[in-house]
Each structure stands twice: as C-alpha cells, then as structure tokens.
Chains A and B, each alone.
Chain A
Amino acid sequence: MATGETLIHLDGVTKVFYTDEVETHALAGIHLEIRKGDYIAIAGPSGCGKSTLLSILGLLDSPTGGEYRLKGQPVAQLTLSERTRIRNREIGFVFQAFNLIGDLNVYENAELPLTYRGLSSVERKKRVQEVLERVGMAHRMKHYPSQLSGGQQQRVAVARALVGQPAILLADEPTGNLDSKNGEAVMDLLHQLHSEGATICMVTHDPRYEDFADRSVHLFDGRVVEDTVTSGVKTQGVR
C-alpha cells in the first residue's frame, strides 16, 4: 500500500554503547527505507537492536555513524529543540508498557502531545474526541489509567500517538504486555489505521503479528538479515 514517497532513509547507521570500557555494537550498519503508507514489522532475537533502532527512528537517540534522513532532511544537523519539535509533530510512539501518565485521565493523556503545540482548546478537544472515538475509548474519557484494562490502556496510548497526526507511528512491542485477545484487538486497530493510510513501524516478537504487516525486517546482531515483503516475493537479506 506504499505510495512510493520515501519518508525515512537510513544509510549505514551504527550505534555503539560504551559502558564500563565495554563497547556494545547495538546497530552495525543498518540500511533501511520506509515509504509513506508502509507497515513494517521489525523482528529478531532479544538484544539484536530492535528497540535501539526504533529510538533512533523516533529521534530519541542519535546514531553513532551513518546517515538518517527524515523526509529527505538529514537529522544529524537538527538542534535539540528541533528534534523535540519533530518528535511532537511527525512521530507517534506506542510503548510496550503503555506509559500513560497516572495522574492524568484518558482525555488528558490523549491530549498531551497537542498541549505542547499551542493549539486552541477547541481544536484540541475536537481532535482528542475524534481520535478517542477511532480507538473506541471515547466512553472512558474521565477514567484514570489504573481503572482500565491493559488493552484499553494501550488503545489510549495509540490514541495519544495518533492525535498529533504524525507521519509515522513507532510501536515497540505494543502487545508485549497484553494477553492474546487484547493483543489481537490492538493489532486489529493498527491494521485498520494502516488501511486508512497510516505509516507504521512496529517491533514484535510474535511471528503471528508479523503477518499483519506488508513488510517484515529481521535483525540479527545489529544487522538487517532479512527484508521480506509478506504479501509477495520473499527476498533474501542483502547485506
């Protein structure tokens, strides 16, 4: 369903962590292209660098080497505040542990990204309502996270990720903390969002969920070892 327009371009991206004199090569030269409308599943064994890759894609972290271009613009030159701004506008995060703020209710949680943008409260209200309806949580607006089930919390987290109409949704094992029924509901939601045109990049352990995506990228030891278009031809990992 990709429209062809390149959204993200990674060229030889590496990431090295230095701890106690030990170098960990979390990413060892990643080449990856994500186009508008893609739905990518990233898979691989624990510790292979999936979360690290997602953090870099989401501008939470910067690569040690290589080039990352977002909408054609190299991100290396961005200032801290510009990166924050892009995180706010272009990227939506969904975490394994939901990461809702316990002091805020469902509505306020979903509204959060908009409050950092300076939108009018009328506009905010319209968008939040819309997005909560889309994830099916509009009827729980006044509830607090602790009063919701895990699946419901994750749907609120998806709403929060969507409310700013980002260019791409990054999800790190969104079903990891959920039972299979709730997990499938969330996957259905992502699938539906994708069919409505959203670009999604999701980390998953579960091979069943890989099939929801158009494309699945396998990592091993910080490298892409397989990049498969699930709907069609299976290509062997190039590098």
Chain B
Amino acid sequence: METFLQDLRHSARLLLKTPGVTLVVVISLALGIGANTAIFSVVNAVLLRPLAVERPQRLIALGSSDSHSVFPHGVSYLDYQDYRRRSEVISDAMLFAPEPFSLNRNGQSERLWGDIATENYFSMLGVRPAVGRFFQPEDGSAPGADPVVVLSYRYWQRRFAGDSGVIGQAVQINSQPFTVIGVAPREFLGTEIYFAPDIWVPMLMAEPLFPSHPKLLEERDAHDFRCWARLRDGVSIAQASAAIATRARQLELAYPESNKNVKALVFPEWEARFEAGTGKVLAMASAMLLAVVVLVLLIACANVANLMLARATSRRREFSIRQVLGAGRGRLIRQLLTESMLMAMLGGAAGVVLAVWVTGLLSSFRPATDIPIFFDLRPDIRVLVFTFFVAVLTGVIFGLAPALQASKPNLVPSLKGQEYSPRKRFRGWTLRNLLVVGQVSVSLLLLVCAGLFFRSLQNAANTETGFRNRNLLLFSMSLRQQGYDETRGLEFYRQFLEKAAALPGVKGVSLAFPLPLDFFSSFDDVYVEGYQPKKDEGKLSYGYTAVSQGFFVTSGTPLLKGRDFSSRDTKDQPGVVIVNETFARRFWPGQEALGKRIRVSEENAPYLTVVGLARDAKYRNLSESPQPYLYFPMQQQYPPEASFVAETSGDPLSMVPGIRGVVRELDANVPVYAVKTVADHINGRALLPFRIASGALTIFGGLGLVLAAVGLYGVMSYSVRLRTKEIGIRMAIGAQPRQILKQVVGQGLVLTLIGLGIGLVATLVATRAISSILFGVSAADPATFGAIPFVLLLVALVACYLPARRAMKVDPIRALRHE
C-alpha cells in the first residue's frame, strides 16, 4: 500500500512534469471513453436498465401474429382474459394501451398521452404509489363504473406542483368526470421506455372514453392492446411460450371466426420495450454502435500507447539505472502501470463529463409528434461502473506494452547511451508503427461506413416519397376526445376545409388519416372480387389512408387515371376506393383497374368500386418495395382524427397562426398538434434511421480520423526527434533538405498506405454486413471507397509534413554536437 501511494505520488509528479503529453493523453482518452460511455448510456437506457418494477426479469410480453403481417400484433381484451385465466405458467397478466386524452381541469383543457390499463396493472408490476392509491380490483368490476385516474410523477409535478391535496380532486377526461386517486412513483415511467404516459385510467372506462369504438373490449380480433405477464416461480420462458401457444390453439378452435391463424408470441420483457418483437433489432443496432465506439476507443488507446512507448524509450536510461540499483522488474512494471492507470482514470472522469453533456443533448431530441417520447439517458451507477471498467481496461491496454518493453532488462546498451540496436528495431519501433497502421485501418472502416450512410441519407432524401417536397404544411387535430360523432365530425372537417381554403397564401387543402410515413399506419383485410387467395397467402391485408377531396393534388401524389373523391361520395352512396399502381398491377395485371370491385374488413361487406388510380408512393418507410395501397373517402371511412395537408404559396409555417385560428373559431377544445413542414415529416421518421446512422458514424469516424492523425503526427514527430542526430549525419554527408523531407513523409505515407490497404480489405468485408440497411448505394460503393482513402491520405500527408518540416530544419552541427 505504501509503495502504491509512493508510486502514485511519483506518477502524479511525472504527469505534471509533462503537461502537454498528459493533456493529449487525457483528451484522447476522454474522447474514446466518453464516446463509449455515451453510447453505453443509450444502450443501458434502451436495453439494460431494468424497469422500476418488482423482479422485472420475470416479466414477459405477449403478442399475436397472423398469416399476413410481419410485425407482431397486440392482444385483444377477450384473448387476454382467456390467457390469464387458470394459467399454470403465469401468475398474472395485465393489458394496456397508450392513448391520447383530453384532460380538462377548472375549465382548461389540454391534450396528453396516457395508458388505458387493466385494474391490476400496478399490482402485477409491483409498483407502489408515491401518493394516494392505485387501482383496486373493484375498480375494474363493471364497465364504465369507476372513473378514477392515476397521475405520473412528472405530470403531477408539472401541473399540480407536487401538491398532495390533488388526491380526490375532480377532473374531466374526454369530457367524462374522473377522480384523481394516486400518483405513480418518480422512477416509474410506464412500461415502454420511450413513452412516458402522463396518466393511467382503468381499462373498463374504455367505452365512455372512446365512444367512437364502443365494442373495443368485446371484439376478440381487436388486437389493440399490449399484454404483459409475470412468470410463475420456476417457469422458464420456453415453458411459458409452449403453454401459451397451446392456449392460443384452443382459442383458435373455439373461435375460428376471429382467431383463425392467430398465434401467440412470447418475448422476454427487454425485447418488448419498444414494441413486441423489436428487441432483437435494437440489440443488433446497439451492438453495432458499441462496436463503432470500441473501435474509436482502440484508436485512442493506440495513440496513448504510442506516447507512452515514446516516453518509456526516453526513460530507458532511468529504468536501467533503477534496475542496476536493484529494482525488480515487477516493481518497474507496477510503477508504469500506476502511471497509465492514473491517466486512464483522469481520461475516464473527463469522458463521463463529456458523456453527460452528450446524453443531455440526445435526451432533449424531440421528434415531430406530440407523443411524450422521453428517454432517460442520464448515466446511472451501471454506466459509471461500466466506464470505470473501460478505463481500467484502457489503462492496461495502453500501459502494458510500454511497461513490458521499458522494463525489459537491457542494461548495457541503455547505459552506453545507444538508443538503437537492430533487435530493438523490431520491437519498439515496429510496435509503434503497427499501432499507427491499425489506427489508419480502423479510421478508414469508420469513415467508409459513415460515407455509405451519408450517401444512403442523400439517396433517401431524394427519393420520390409521394409528398411534394416544399410548400406543404402538415398538422394533426383530433375530434376523438371532444364527443364528436361521425356526422358532427364530418361537418367539422367540411367547415374547416372551407374556411382554411379561403385563407390568403393557401393554394389547396385536404385532410388525410393516417398520413403516409407517419408514426402509425392503418391496415385492413381486403377481398378482391374474382381473386382467390393462394393457399399460403391467408388473408390479404393492406395499408390505407382515408382522405378528403383534393388530397391527391395538395399532397403531390397524382391521380393517374379516373377521378378524385367528391362531396357526393357519402355513406349512403355506393362505396368507392382509389388504389395505387402496385395494387392494380398485383390484382389486375394488364387490365383496366377502374370499375373493378373489392371488399374491405369483412368477406361479406358491400363492394367498393375502384374510381381512381394513384401513383405509387412510400407508405411506411423509404426503403420499402412498392406496396399495394388503398385510399378511402373520409365520408365513407370516418377518421376521428385527421392530418391537415395544405399546399401554400409561401413559407408553410407562416400559415400556422391563421389556420389555428380557424380551428379555434370552430371549436376551441379541438387540439392541434404535430405541426410541421413536409421536410420535418420526412426527417422526423422516414429518414431518422439514416440520419442517426450517418450522424453517429460521421461523428465517431471524424473522431477516429482526428485521433489517427494525432497518432501519426505523434509517431512521426517522435521519430524525427529520436533521429535528430541521424538526420544531422545525413545532412552533413550531403542529403538535401528536400531529400530529408521526402524520407520522413515517405515513411509516414508507407505506414498510411499499409493501413489503408489493410483497412480497405477489412472494410469491404465489414460493410457487407450493413448492405441490407443501406439505401440505394452498394456496400462496395466505388465513389465512397475511392474518396475516403484519398481524404485519409491527405490528412496523413499533413500529419507527416509538420514533423518532416522540422526534420528539414535540423542543424547538422548542433545535431552532431549533442551526443
């Protein structure tokens, strides 16, 4: 212990003695470790941090699948009750769904998001209230009988200033009277990590809350709810999975009408955090990001190791003397490792500061939606432990090689003052070169990936989305919670469109729901007249949007044939539909689509006649292949909320006050939200993955490049310093300065070229793994693979030129005098 303190003091003194080197080391490490801490904080928040509930590892999520959907659906209320009843594998299950609400207090109304949840939601999770109480079993006894609401801690703080007198207060939710009964604990942010509900209301209040969906809890195929269950002690996920699958088959037999081909899916809790089934994708993305930052850290470590090697070399004499005086090798290694640990800890501490800052920035990122998306990315104790171990590991990685090398008993040449020996050439010098080569290769890998994602982003941004790319204003409004029925709702829409169209600067208006490329989408079963689905096809289900007249003109998705919907396409008139090109090609290849007929939802529903053909657009994401898609007239397929689509003649956002005024004039209680331009709309969701990937990789690749350049510069500078005398000799015997320059730069470029060669091969292999997530660019894109190495080469040239210029200025007499 005493020697440790002694070592520590000695190390601290040494670090202070060379503040420049120490600074470079600490900054390099701070960047490397900071990047890791930041990314790990994200991964931690998304995948690792357990929910603030009782024994979260015993929770599972249930979903259902059918034959015509890639993504798992939720579970219906009736199926949930059957899964829950008399189960051998789960002790309890609960059901919930995120929903927007309108909450009115003291005559003030606000739109907010909450969960509608079964009465056992909190008890099944094992969460205890901060204030008041949670739902009790009797709260769920009769549909609509228990108007109670639980507030989130954040909402309680925000709206009620943390006043515990709130318990028992009356509020109105969707125009229904409710009583506040409790507040959730501060750390409990709901069960989906990105979505922090503000309130919870009992499931059985669904009918009065959502009058437009009166039979929501009675339809066995309304797979609208998220279902979570708690495993009984000793039951594994596999066992639970098997038992629940059996139950699903029983339900399929008992209710063939609704449950044909409906299978149950079981996920561990962490895989269902965003939505059932997204866990694997997230885990992969996390692994990739972590791999990227680990590479950055390795580059940083290589830098530091190089500096330490350089220092160790210049301290060889000191070590030899110490060894002659009887210091054991272990003692020297310990001394050197203490030094590198000290640096690593300093770097780690700076890294944490950096990470806190970066995650703060990330947390404040808000996509263009009113859903309370909230990520708690702040580093917690788990992150700090992670960072500590990374720092220790880093210290060992960059400290060990120099320590081993410097402490090698090699007394005679060091004491004689000979820095060179042919054998050493292949250790110290070559190890340093190898580090630089590695840095260059890894930087190339990172930068090429960044380049590929950047090109993807560009391509994606330039794809035909179906929206005109400027002068388009979008926003949403909801009549769901204001007690509008279909007739009043349609009348509201009609009046709104009429008044909005009359505003100056507005060229065209329309309504649509849901908007293509939004956060949610609608699907329905489709039966095409005269088309017999093939055996393996099962039910056909396609996405659709309900639109008002004028949508195709204002949005920029032109009608190719036929007619637009008109005010005469009302509910009492024959049903009509507009299909896109892919739909027409799929079912009526080579035929006239207009006049063909389909049924929607039910096999015996009335026929809808195709009256128009719309150009293909993108509907769920930009990289999708052309999808069949349908448009219904709003008057025949009433949406209780709608997105407004307006073509403007000037800046779309300047129209916002006027249009808000129109809504207020019609009904001050109708919330307007998600106001955005078309660019926000596309950027906010469809382009988001590319923006994140290209942004993150550009940052980390740039970081890698800077670190590698510093590394190359360091190695070349050190080499020049070490060889000052050699350079002096060469000049004395007639080397021209430019020959010296060429020699030094050449040496650096050889390292760079070797690094680029290795890097190119590695990158070609590595980018194949990401080819499926690129957009419109090959994983071996010649432009990227040509340009990035060139950039690296230029940077390397600069990094070598500076030391080389110093080499040119060596004065031979002085160099030879200092022996």
A interface vs B, CB < 8 Å?
Answer: 55, 58, 60-61, 80-81, 84-85, 87-89, 92-93, 95, 97, 99, 101-103, 105, 112-113, 116-117, 144-147, 160-161, 164
Closest to B420 in A: A102
Interface SS of chain B:
helix
Stretch of B207-215, B695-703, B811-819 contacting A (4+ beta carbons < 8 Å): B811-819
Within 8 A of A (CB), among B684-743: 725-726, 729-737, 739
CB distance from A124 to the nearest CB of B (A): 14
CB distance from B247 to the nearest CB of A (A): 77
> CB-CB < 8 A to B725: which residues of A?
99
- Give the CA-CA distance A88 to B737 in the complex, in Å: 13
Given contacts A60-B813, A116-B739, contact A102 B418 (CB under 8 A): yes
- Give the CA-CA distance A175 to B421 in the complex, in Å: 23
Given contacts A60-B812, A60-B813, A103-B420, contact A146 B734 (CB under 8 A): no
- Give the CA-CA distance A146 to B424 in the complex, in Å: 11
Are A61 and B813 in contact (CB-based, < 8 A)?
A: yes
CB distance from A71 to the nearest CB of B (A): 17
Are A87 and B816 in contact (CB-based, < 8 A)?
A: no
> CB-CB < 8 A to B730: which residues of A?
101, 112, 116
CB distance from B21 to the nearest CB of A (A): 25
Interface size (B, Cβ < 8 Å)?
23
Given contacts A101-B729, A103-B425, A103-B726, contact A88 B734 (CB under 8 A): yes
The interface centre, meaning the residue of A92, A97, A102, A161 with most chain B CB atoms within 10 A of its CB, is: A102
Given contacts A103-B726, A146-B420, contact A87 B732 (CB under 8 A): yes
Given contacts A60-B812, A61-B813, A95-B816, contact A113 B734 (CB under 8 A): yes
- Give the CA-CA distance A112 to B425 in the complex, in Å: 19
Are B422 and A144 in contact (CB-based, < 8 A)?
A: yes
The answer, among A88, A97, A146, for a CB contact under 8 Å with B733, is A88
The answer, among B733, B736, B819, for a CB contact under 8 Å with A112, is B733
Closest to B429 in A: A103
- Give the CA-CA distance A147 to B233 in the complex, in Å: 74
B interface vs A, CB < 8 Å?
Answer: 413, 418-422, 425, 725-726, 729-737, 739, 812-813, 816, 819
| 6 chain-A/chain-B pairs, Cβ below 8 angstroms | A55-B813, A60-B813, A80-B737, A87-B733, A101-B730, A116-B733
Are A146 and B739 in contact (CB-based, < 8 A)?
A: no
CB distance from B302 to the nearest CB of A (A): 23
CB distance from A172 to the nearest CB of B (A): 9
- Apart from A84-B731, A146-B421, A146-B422: 16 A-B pairs, beta carbons within 8 A: A60-B812, A60-B813, A61-B813, A84-B734, A84-B737, A85-B734, A88-B733, A88-B734, A93-B733, A97-B816, A99-B816, A105-B422, A113-B733, A113-B734, A117-B734, A144-B421
Are B418 and A146 in contact (CB-based, < 8 A)?
A: yes
The answer, among A81, A93, A95, A113, for a CB contact under 8 Å with B736, is A81
- Give the CA-CA distance A97 to B813 in the complex, in Å: 13
Are B736 and A116 in contact (CB-based, < 8 A)?
A: yes
Closest to B732 in A: A93
> CB-CB < 8 A to B729: which residues of A?
99, 101
> CB-CB < 8 A to A95: which residues of B?
816
Are A116 and B812 in contact (CB-based, < 8 A)?
A: no
Nearest 10 A/B pairs, CB to CB: A88-B734, A102-B420, A144-B422, A87-B734, A146-B421, A113-B733, A99-B729, A116-B735, A116-B734, A101-B726
The answer, among B734, B737, B816, B819, for a CB contact under 8 Å with A89, is B734
- Give the CA-CA distance A101 to B816 in the complex, in Å: 12
The interface centre, meaning the residue of A97, A117, A146, A160 with most chain B CB atoms within 10 A of its CB, is: A146
- Give the CA-CA distance A145 to B476 in the complex, in Å: 82
- Give the CA-CA distance A95 to B385 in the complex, in Å: 59
> CB-CB < 8 A to A147: which residues of B?
422
CB distance from B368 to the nearest CB of A (A): 62
Closest to B729 in A: A99
> CB-CB < 8 A to A81: which residues of B?
736-737
The answer, among B421, B422, B425, B736, for a CB contact under 8 Å with A84, is B736
> CB-CB < 8 A to A93: which residues of B?
732-733
Closest to B734 in A: A88
> CB-CB < 8 A to A160: which residues of B?
733
> CB-CB < 8 A to B819: which residues of A?
97
> CB-CB < 8 A to A164: which residues of B?
734
> CB-CB < 8 A to A92: which residues of B?
733
> CB-CB < 8 A to B731: which residues of A?
84
Closest to B726 in A: A101
